Amino acid sequence: MRYGVFSDVHGNIEALDAVLGVLRDQGVDRYAFVGDAVGYGPNPNEVCDRIREVAEIAVVGNHDAAVTDRMSYEEYYDAARHALDWCKERLTPANMKWLTDLPYSHREGDLVFSHGAPVAPELFDYLFAPEQVVDMLEGEPELAPVTFIGHSHLTISFAIDDGTVTPILADAIECDPAKRYIITDGSVGQPRDRDPRAACGVYDSETRVFTFHRVTYDAHAVRRKILDAGLSPIFGERLLVGM
């Protein structure tokens, strides 16, 4: 089985369509969305509609939870709160219900899909440093052989071997059956790893290899749409530099 894994679209339909085209060309069998369809970007409904069309697996992200009142976003910075309020006013009832009903995590065989840390996924804890993974492992939680997450908008992953956590920065990750892996798939619509191209990945359950893909799209067009919508200009500027 080949899984197309993607997350953190954040209302960027141009980036999403580019990513889905690449995943289709890669011959994926199942699409897995690991959270944050909305926030920041100008096309929340178009993004939700497209994900609903293709993703057999989908979990809720923190922005999705915030816009549906499943969590508070009072502590978000002003521009992010404004973007979520803007989305609330525009999401269709069908898309609001879809976001409201999304689970916090999904397990399929040896694979788990979660937006943030897979232990207590409703807390949306970040995992972008080995120390955070070590803290998560306190109490010795049972982890799936391979877990896919988003949330950080980075492409750093972690191999866990008897409590030792090793960060991985690579274009492809070969998953040793003797270890556990947490793979961060990057961001479709708001990359923050200094690469402005949209990020996604393909996991082959037969070979146990996850391969990253980076996809160019018209970020300038999305930036213009963000400005025209009255959303914070910083959300558009970030798209051009991957920050």
Question: DSSP E strands: which ranges in the chain?
Answer: 2-6, 30-33, 55-58, 105-108, 111-114, 146-149, 157-161, 164-168, 172-174, 180-184, 198-204, 209-215
Q: What's the N-to-C CA distance of the chain in angstroms?
A: 33
Residue ranges and CATH numbers for the domains of the chain are 2-241 (3.60.21.10)
**Structure tokens belonging to residue 184:** 């961060």
Q: For residues 128 and 161, is the Cβ–Cβ distance under 8 A?
A: no
pTM listed for this prediction: 0.96
- Read off the pLDDT of residues 104-138 as tens digits, 9 standing for 90 and up: 999 999 999 999 999 999 999 999 999 999 999 99
Rounded distance, CA 189 to CA 15, Å?
6
- Read off the pLDDT of residues 147-178 as tens digits, 9 standing for 90 and up: 999 999 999 999 999 889 999 999 999 999 99
Position 202 scores a pLDDT of 98
Summarize the confidence of residues 191-211 as an average pLDDT: 97
Q: For residues 145 and 136, is the Cβ–Cβ distance under 8 A?
A: no
Position 140 scores a pLDDT of 83
> Which ranges in 35-92 belong to alpha helices (H)?
44-54, 62-67, 78-90
Position 163 scores a pLDDT of 84
Percentage with pLDDT > 70 across the chain: 100
In this model, does residue 219 exceed pLDDT 90? yes
- Read off the pLDDT of residues 141-153 as tens digits, 9 standing for 90 and up: 999 999 999 999 9
Position 139 scores a pLDDT of 85
Q: Which of 109, 120, 107, 124 is closest to 8 using CA atoms?
A: 124
In this model, does residue 11 exceed pLDDT 90? yes
- Read off the pLDDT of residues 17-73 as tens digits, 9 standing for 90 and up: 999 999 999 999 999 999 999 999 999 999 999 999 999 999 999 999 999 999 999
Summarize the confidence of residues 85-98 as an average pLDDT: 97
DSSP 172: E
CA distances to 48, 59, 132, 196 from 6, in Å: 13, 11, 22, 15
3-state secondary structure of 197: coil
**Structure tokens belonging to residue 36:** 């944050």
